Amino acid sequence: MERPRRLRAPLLRPLVAEVDLAPRHLILPLFVKEEGEREEVPSMPGVYRHPLKDLPRVGEAALAAGLGGVILFGVLPQEAKDPWGKGAYAEEGVVQRAIRLLKGEFPELLVIADTCLCEYTDHGHCGVVREGPLGFYVDNDATLELLAKTALSQARAGADVVAPSAMMDGQVRAIREALDKEGFTHVPILSYAVKYASAFYGPFRDAAQSAPQFGDRAGYQMDPRAGLWDALREARLDDLEGADLLMVKPALPYLDVLYALKGRFAKPLFAYQVSGEYAMLKAAALRGWLDERKAVLETLYALRRAGAQGILTYFALEAARWLKEA
């Protein structure tokens, strides 16, 4: 008789386990603000908006945990925002300062900069907003220039990787050209290639205070109901435009997409376990409804199994600790 249980015996189980997970696979997202004290994000218990002065401690922790790296998001007070998101490409912008600080203190820590405008525009959209016959729209090609400026300023500050997340057509090419022209040929692009218009970004927008002031992001982010063709098309375009790493976002509701992309492109695949995924797990864990450690590690193993090389997760530090204890 076929008996799958034979391979579940204690000495066999580890031998046939294929998926592994280590701290080096994990990237910690960090929300950074200029000053004040660190504030916990209400919908993300255990996640903070960090003032710049906190970064030495956080960078140290990320390095000690052996994480793959950190990715930075800027948090600005509303009065510092404008329609063009100037804060995103300011030389003294909060992310630019954070990069210089982290890379100055911890050259061995991989620092990724999220490249987008929504945290810096007063309207909260990811690009330049204009009036059209059917209401507002985001002007794709005018935005490309600003995204390229943003990536360039991040590279100048010392970012190891730039990660465009605005979902503008042609953003990877525009950024690659700008970086190459200025001598940053060595800076890779981690592209949020396949990014859905998702309710699971809610807590992030709370954290970064970047919710759109009107309308939504359906005009540029992907429709969850679209067929796989949309994911393949987005990934193929970013591949051709010169992305070095391709990412799917959110993670757990899109495991099918991740799995479908695996091996189709000669590039590593990443997944972003987003704020809403963190919030769900955390909320259940805080109520004692889930074993946090087991549930979180299970989701991370699932992402690795589906094809993620790297995983962006707000659980990065905790997961690294759990993996060490195991």
Q: Is 103 a catalytic residue?
A: no
- Interface residues toward ligand PBG, by CB under 6 A: 114, 116, 118, 126, 165-166, 201, 204-205, 274-275
Least Å distance, CB 16 to ligand PBG, is 34
Kindly name the residue from 81, 249, 294, 324 that is annotated as catalytic: 249
Least Å distance, CB 275 to ligand PBG, is 3
Q: Is 53 a catalytic residue?
A: no
- Report strand pairing: 69-74 vs 269-273: unpaired
| Residue nearer to ligand PBG on the CB measure, 84 or 201 | 201
Least Å distance, CB 116 to ligand PBG, is 4
Residue with the shortest CB distance to ligand PBG: 204
Separation of alpha carbons 184 and 161, rounded Å: 10
- From 267, 259, 194, 183, select the one nearest 224 (Cα to Cα): 194
Q: Where are the alpha helices (DSSP H) in the chain?
A: 13-16, 55-64, 94-105, 140-157, 171-181, 202-208, 228-241, 255-261, 275-286, 292-306, 316-325
Separation of alpha carbons 50 and 63, rounded Å: 17
Least Å distance, CB 28 to ligand PBG, is 12
Token representation of residue 261: 């992309």
| Residue nearer to ligand PBG on the CB measure, 251 or 261 | 251
Kindly name the residue from 81, 195, 267, 324 that is annotated as catalytic: 195
Q: Is the dihedral of CA 20, 23, 27, 28 positive or negative?
A: positive
Contacts of 180 (CB under 8 A, 6+ apart): none
Catalytic positions? 195, 249
